[in-house]
Amino acid sequence: MTLVLRARDVHKTYRTDPPVPVLTGVDLELRAGERVAVVGRSGSGKSTFLNIVGLLDTPTSGQVELLGQDTGALSAHARDRLRAGTLGFVFQEHHVLGHRTVAENLEIAASISGTPRARRPALVSAALARVGLTGRQQALGRLLSGGEKQRLVLADEPTGS
């Protein structure tokens, strides 16, 4: 099976006073079709690790490869494009713009991933159909239930709320 994600010797230390080491030498390989649960006690670094492999943060040291690309060698813009084109997230807190419609929230994501404007309405409709939200395009983000907001892929504390 194709290697999708490889994290090697990932370390993360928050540069506070005093510094707080959160991850110390974490390794993970994930192949297409595999499912992984990252488990541990509160404060053990699960969210930090997901933020790193999800390209929302960078490790203090170590290497993360996504789809064969060394993410540490990419510019911030290239990491953003890779993340937008390959990953989805379910955050502990719902990162949906409450003052925007569901369609507008999805169109923002499509814009970031480089989808041409003319293709966005069809993409939005297809995405909503895939997750069972057909007919909710014009609902404001703040009016969605928690479950409706969390119909994505990479879950940080999915059972926590």
Per CATH, which fold does 3-87 belong to?
A: Rossmann fold (3.40.50)
> pLDDT per residue over 17-58, tens digit each?
999 999 999 999 999 999 998 888 878 899 899 999 999 999
Q: Above 90 in pLDDT, residue 108?
A: no
Q: 5: part of which helix (H) or strand (E)?
A: strand 3-14
Nearest to 90 by CA among 41, 132, 148, 143: 148
CA distances from 55 to 8, 84, 137, 138, 144 (A): 15, 10, 28, 30, 26
The pTM score is 0.66
CA torsion 22→23→24→27, rounded to 10°? 170
Residue 30 to residue 46: CA distance in whole angstroms: 16
**Would you state the pLDDT for residue 154?**
42
Q: Considering the chain, what is the average pLDDT of its residues?
A: 86
**Taking the domains of the chain in order of start, what are their residue ranges?**
3-87, 102-155
Which amino acid is it at 95?
Answer: H
